[in-house]
Structure 1
Amino acid sequence: MSTRFPAVTVVGSINLDLIATAERLPTAGETIGGAVLSEQPGGKGANQAAAAARLGGSTRMVGAVGSDANGQRMLDALAVAGVDTADVAVLPEPTGTALIVVDRDGENQIVVCPGANSNLSLDGVEFDRDETVLCQLEVGLPVVLEAARLHTGYFVLNAAPAMDLPAELLERCDLVIVNESEYALIPALAEAKLVAVTYGKDGSAMFDQARKVAEAPSIAVSVANTVGAGDAFCAALVLALRQGLDYAHALAVANEVGGDAVGDSSSQPDLAQLGHYVERTAVTAAAR
């Protein structure tokens, strides 16, 4: 197994997360009082880039923020995490914002106002064949398709939020990552060559054209916030696979990273280096 992994470029969303933590989630038309409001850096793309950098990957972000105070806050947060932000555009539109309600069990409801994310352009962005490109769908399908066409190396799609995916994109993906609900909502994934599916407390599994080829159990954790856990899982799985781990061990590592993330209230939590999680899961992986 290599001790280094190829550079990771994340093409995706950058948002300010406005989080209301309440006892429970409201039903339609209901008002709930007594919540606590917090603000923090977020966006699926930025969360994944921050996680990849903290895990030890050489990471750059391709995205867009507004020319406002929140945009600068998002850039500063990525830089602190160790992410190269040279390819993050600063646009006249407001920085993207996610309105999030989190209950006492860590479950959430999210509404995203994309702002500058809607105008992300890949003009002038170059991709090296040796790097890994990781995309999500919060910046829109056309941008993701363009990235898939421009990049000739290892290409990963976190297919969230769920939507119909063109055959061209699925055929291009070396790996697709989804949660259980997204897997059910995108039937075309049954034809994908490699799909990782997360099942929350039931762990995760890897599928090759709908055939399960590996799985790994979750770890028991106290849930503080599930918002960034899936993003941390994505970053860890990509790095673990690119470092040469087999499917089952890579899933176990990503589950451990996701478990640490779900126990942290931040959407961009501090994480140990990937090697720490590899060692922590090595005995269990060897026993399977």
Structure 2
Amino acid sequence: MIVIIGSINMDLVMRVPRIPHPGETLSGGPFQTIPGGKGANQAVACARLVKQTERSAPQKVAMVACLGDDAFGVQLRAALRSDGIDDTHVSTVANISSGVAAIQVDANGQNSIALAAGANDALTPAHIDAARNLIAQAKIVVLQLETPLATISHAIKMAHDLGKIVVLNPAPAQALPTALLAQIDYLIPNEIEAGMLAELPLTASMSDADIDAAMAKLQAHGCRNVLVTLGAKGVQAGLANGAQHFPAQVVKAIDTTAAGDTFIGGFVAALADGLSEAEAIQFGQRAAALSVTRIGAQTSIPYRHEL
């Protein structure tokens, strides 16, 4: 079983010719509401990308999260169920809205995102304690940082103490204690997040040497493996047996929303299915490459048979 602990959002997506400057008004294109949130995206990617024979097993992918008691919450729960995700530990919180992400996507497929956390901020250590039996059944536990850090820290410690494979996507980027990093089996940041976590000077584009230095520092803090996602430049992996670069497939991107989440879901699904780390990275890359040729978050995530 794969358990994802994290965020669920409704994405409010608008196509724009370019990302507007501060104070500027632009006429946009089509508008859509699409289920999203880093946690839910990764759960959906896992559910769609595990082996089909495995996927039919009960509770193959489960989620621990919070939704608001609004119309978005009803729609978002239905979206999880439509992909066969166990939502037993997805709680509905009274008198609060579900999480929302306002997303602008430009003509080159790049995006700008603003978040209103809503019910995601209501996920507490008590929710994690209530899900202990579920986490105990997991092979891999996947987390992000769109819910309170105290809750994520509590969940990581529980999963680590139970001997689970712990995967953390440290986004949105924030400082993390060394003791927390030491409990991570696979840390999967983008290059900016890697630089921030390693406390390196931030630049518009990190060099290969900067990325290697960030990975080395994070591994020195106890992270067993660090996979830095570099978009069109691929993935730089600091694994237990050394560093390796995995080039990305060349595709025409129309929307990069959820590409990183798709990579993580594909990587985790492949690990759960018994593939090697290198094979799992390449599988996740194939899934992400297909996702950027489509619009939206969960609407862009492919199914295993499409790969």
TM-score, length basis structure 2: 0.83
Match of residue 38, structure 2, among 41, 44, 56? 44
Does the 8 Å contact 2:188/2:226 carry over to 1? yes
What's 1:163 paired with?
Answer: 174
Mapping 1:76-155, distance limit 5 Å: 76-92=78-94, 93-121=96-124, 122=127, 123-126=129-132, 127-128=135-136, 130-151=138-159, 152=162, 153-155=164-166
Separation (CA, whole Å) in 2 of partners of 1:31 and 1:21: 13
Match of 1:285 in 2: none
Three-state SS of the structure 1 residue aligned to 2:13 is: strand
Tell me which amino acid in the other structure corresponds to 1:189. L
Per-residue CA shift, 1:35-89, capped at 9, x if unaligned?
A: 3221110100000001100112511111011111110000001111121111100
Which residue of structure 2 aligns with residue 8 of structure 1?
A: 2
SS at match of 1:161: coil
The DSSP-based 3-state class of the residue aligned with 1:178 is: coil
Deviations 1:203-225 (A, max 9, x none): 1121148x952221111222121
d(CA) in 1 for partners of 2:246 and 2:78? Answer: 35
Where in structure 2 are the equivalents of 1:204-243 lying within 5 Å? 204-208=235-239, 213-243=243-273
Whether 1:74 aligns to 2:76 is yes
The question of whether the paired residues in 2 share the 8 Å contact of 1:214 and 1:247 is answered with no
Instruction: Describe how 1:29-40 pairs up with structure 2 within 5 A.
Output: 29-40=23-34
CA offsets 1:148-189 (integer angstroms, 9 cap, x no match): 122221111011111111112111111111111211111052
After TM superposition, give the deviation of residue 248 of structure 1 in Å: 2.5
Measured in 2, the distance between the counterparts of 1:62 and 1:108 equals 27
Distance 2:272 2:256 in 1: 25
Cα deviation, 1:95-131, whole Å, max 9, x if unaligned, reads: 0100111101110111100000000132411211542
Give the equivalent residue in structure 1 for 2:11. Answer: 17
Gap regions ≥5 residues in structure 2: 199-216
* Alpha-carbon separation, structure 2, partners of 1:207 and 1:133: 20
Q: TM (normalized to structure 1)?
A: 0.88
Identity of aligned residues (%): 34
Separation in structure 1 between the aligned mates of residue 86 and residue 238 of structure 2, nearest angstrom: 32
Q: Using a 3 Å threshold, how does the CA distance of structure 1 residues 129 and 84 change in structure 2: closer, same or farther?
A: closer
Q: Which residue of 2 aligns with 1:198?
A: 229
**Structure 1 CA distance for aligned equivalents of residues 219 and 98 of structure 2:** 36
RMSD across aligned positions (CA): 1.7
User: Structure 1: where are the runs of 5+ without partners?
Assistant: 1-6, 278-288
The CA distance in 1 between the partners of 2:197 and 2:71, in whole Å, is: 37
User: C-alpha separation between the residues in 2 aligned to 1:190 and 1:168?
Assistant: 12
- What is the CA–CA distance in structure 2 between the aligned matches of 1:40 and 1:67, rounded to whole Å? 18
Residue of structure 1 equivalent to 2:205: none
Which residue is 1:59 aligned to? 61
Secondary structure of residue in 2 paired with 1:128: helix
Q: Indicate if the aligned counterparts of 2:2 and 2:138 stay in contact, CA closer than 8 A.
A: no
Alpha-carbon distance in structure 1 between the residues aligned to 2:28 and 2:121 = 33
> Which one-letter code corresponds to 2:144 in the other structure?
Q
2:249–2:289 contact (8 Å) kept in structure 1? yes
Tell me how far apart the structure 1 counterparts of residues 147 and 157 of structure 2 sit (CA, whole Å): 16
SS in structure 2 of the partner of residue 79 of structure 1 = helix
CA contact (8 A) 2:13 2:296 kept: no
